[in-house]
Amino acid sequence: MGPLSRTGESGKEQRDEGRTTRNAGGPRAGMAPRFFCGLMGPQGATQSLDAAGIDRAMVRIAHEIHEKNPGRLADLVLIGIPKRGDTLARRIAAVLARDHAVVAPVGVLDITMYRDDIGSRASLPKPSDLPGSIDGKTIVLVDDVLYTGRSVRAAMDALIDFGRPKAIQLAVLVDRGHRELPIRADYVGKNIPTAPGANVKVELKEDDGAEQVLVEEGNG
Closer CB to other proteins, 69 or 112, in the complex: 112
Whole-number minimum distance, CB 111 to other proteins, in Å?
10
Cβ closest to other proteins, residue 25 vs residue 107: 107
Shortest approach of other proteins to residue 120 CB, angstroms? 5
- Is 217 a binding residue for other proteins by CB under 8 A? The answer is no
Position among 50, 90, 105, 162 found at the interface with other proteins (CB under 8 A): 162
The residue within the footprint of other proteins, chosen from 40, 74, 113, 167 (CB under 8 A), is 113
Q: Is residue 57 a contact partner of residue 190, using CB atoms and an 8 Å limit? A: yes
Check residue 128 for interaction with other proteins (CB under 8 A). Answer: yes
- Residue 124 engages other proteins in binding (rule: CB under 8 A): yes
Residue 114 or 147 with smaller CB distance to other proteins: 114
The nearer residue to other proteins, 149 or 189, going by C-beta atoms, is: 149
Distance between CA 178 and CA 174 in Å, rounded?
A: 12
Residues 1, 112: Cα–Cα separation, whole Å: 20
Among the listed residues 47, 20, 27, the one whose alpha carbon sits nearest the alpha carbon of residue 213: 47
- Helices (H) then strands (E): counts for the chain: 4, 9
Give me the amino acid identity at 11: G
Handedness of CA 149, 59, 199, 87 (dihedral sign): negative
Is residue 123 within 8 A of residue 115, CB to CB? The reply is yes
- Interacting residues toward other proteins by CB under 8 A: 1, 5, 110, 112-114, 117-120, 122-128, 157-158, 161-163
